[in-house]
Amino acid sequence: MKQILEGMRAFHSSGFIHRDIKCDNVLLHSPPGSGRVYIKISDFGFAKKEDIQVNKHIQLEIFKVPLILTQKVDIYALGITFYKLITHKYPVNERNVKEQGKKMIQLKSIDRPSEIKDNLLWDLISNLLEFDPNKRITAAEALQHPYFTSPEAFSDISKEQQDLASLASVAELEGDSNITQFDKDPTFIVEEKIINQFIINYIHRNQTKQLNNIKQEEK
């Protein structure tokens, strides 16, 4: 999450809106032997320069609500993306995309799902999913949220993250010009084994869901 938010912060700082943030446009890259995963935002085909003078309302796909076309659209979409990655579902689940979009518009708020146990995490997601764009936080503000900055957040840093950060610092001292500040910051490091386990769990969950659907259809 932190890597994605930093990418969005940097992109927004240039004055652009992505306009197509979703799970499919979040890519994972793990250099062989690195032990870490870089998370990248892709597909900038719909991106455009933000024009605060243009009062244009939009409604895009299943997880977007009518909003003035500003960078806050990307923030809401990030909130839905994180919601989906964490819970493996959308706040509203309909097979028909149009019906799903209609129900999303009718929502006054998004209830906390049972899958999100951490209070700080839900507070962050809620701020990203704030329906009022004027109250919705920016990517820069999200990075300063207690979910990332509290003592609890720092206590959750694993030894593996610290080791990878130390290796990056050593590599930089030895002349590696590709090392960035984020490579040396353990709070930005995502371990490869964590992503591998996430993918395995995701595949297993989908297979189980498909089997259950088949059984339901057979009854």
Per-residue pLDDT tens for 83-115? 999 998 888 877 777 777 677 777 777 899 999
User: How many CB atoms are located within 10 Å of the residue 168 CB?
Assistant: 23
- Domains of the chain listed by start with CATH number: 2-156 (1.10.510.10)
User: What pLDDT, on the 0 to 100 scale, is given for residue 62?
Assistant: 47
Range list of H helices, the chain: 2-13, 72-87, 97-106, 119-128, 139-143, 146-149, 151-155, 159-173, 192-218
CA gap 127, 137 in Å, rounded: 6
Could you report the per-residue pLDDT of 179-217, keeping only the tens digit for each?
999 999 999 999 998 888 888 887 887 787 777 777 777
Could you report the per-residue pLDDT of 20-76, keeping only the tens digit for each?
999 999 999 999 999 999 999 999 999 998 775 554 544 445 445 545 678 999 999
What is the pLDDT of the chain when averaged over all its residues? 87
User: What pLDDT, on the 0 to 100 scale, is given for residue 99?
Assistant: 75
Pairing of strands 36-41, 190-191: antiparallel
Maximal C-alpha separation, the chain:
65
Number of H helices, E strands in the chain: 9, 7
Report yes or no on whether pTM surpasses 0.85: no
Q: Closest Cα to residue 184, out of 36, 5, 42?
A: 36
What SS3 class is residue 145? coil
